Amino acid sequence: MNIILLGPPGAGKGTQAERLVAERGMVQLSTGDMLRAAVAAGTPTGLKAKTVMEAGELVSDEIVSGIIGEKLDMLSADTGVIFDGYPRTAAQADALDTLLAARRRTLDHVIELVVDEDALVERITGRFTCAKCGAGYHVRFKPTQVAGVCDACGATEFKRRPDDNEATVRTRMAEYRAKTAPILPIYEARGLVSKIDGMADMDVVAGEISAILAR
Ligand code: AP5
Ligand code: MG
């Protein structure tokens, strides 16, 4: 099973991918997470990506498709993949077709999380993650069970993303509207797109995704 989670910043792609990984043993390929790891490690890719990401703009198609290809090569053929935040442009959608075909993988579903952009600013500015294991939280919508302690690993250090401020979020949304939303018709023409109300409760969204994957 190979699926794409598509939606603007804060739509819930990472949140839902994390659940699919835990519940179904699928692998999450998040280009955002991979790029942040490259920035943290100070690799040549990370050095190129850092300022672009902090501005809320898109990193080059060559870089992201290159890292997706490398990650796919590390997986066994029967491992299900969730593409989170990739593809984001028409060129990336083309590249993904080539990458999948070369590995005899087919795309099963493109799930669009439909959301209200204004509400997303609150989601993004309230988001934080565990500094040790990366588990994702939200000050209002998904707080830790014990204040200041990660539910998943017990760590007490948390972090926030440098691009999670209102000004940058607006740029990220504009990038989504201009470059990413236009790729939906490519997948609609293939009958792959299912639309979900991403403003619903996280559990409801997860239930709808499970129903789509069971089809
Ligand atoms: P990336 O990391 O992909 O960020 P994004 O697309 O902006 O999306 P987010 O991670 O912000 O949102 P999400 O949908 O995962 O939401 P989440 O589940 O965390 O990309 C970052 C940057 O990297 C880009 O701007 C670009 O520069 C670069 N980049 C990455 N991929 C690229 C590519 N392919 N090409 C070029 N450049 C690329 O949820 C958000 C918050 O809301 C959380 O706190 C969560 O707890 C909460 N929440 C989630 N669901 C719900 C719900 N149903 N109800 C209430 N709260 C909820
Ligand atoms: Mg994410």
Point out the residues of the chain with pLDDT beneath 50.
none
Q: Give the nearest ligand 1 atom to 92 CA.
A: 34
Atom of ligand 1 lying closest to residue 172 CA: 25
Residue to mutate, 20, 39, 58, 151, ligand 1, most ligand atoms under 8 Å from C-beta: 58
Active site residue 177: no
**Nearest ligand by distance to the CA of 39:** 1
Interatomic CA distance for residues 7 and 115, integer angstroms: 8
Whole-structure pTM value? 0.95
Neighbours of 186 (CB within 10 A): 16
Q: How many CA atoms lie within 13 A of 95 on its CB side?
A: 19
Per-residue pLDDT reduced to its tens digit, 108-139: 999 999 999 888 999 999 999 999 999 999 99
Rounded Cα distance between 21 and 80, Å, is: 9
Contact 193, 112 (CB under 8 A): yes
Distance of CA 107 to the CA centre of its chain: 16
> How confident is the model at residue 145, as a pLDDT?
98
pLDDT score, position 117: 87
Active-site choice (71, 161, 170, 195): 161
Please tell me the distance from the alpha carbon of residue 6 to that of residue 142, in angstroms, as a whole number: 21
In this structure, what DSSP letter does residue 62 have?
H
Establish whether 172 is a catalytic residue.
yes
Q: What is the pLDDT of residue 141?
A: 94
Residue from 214, 215, 209 nearest 11 by CA: 209
**Residue 115 pLDDT:** 95
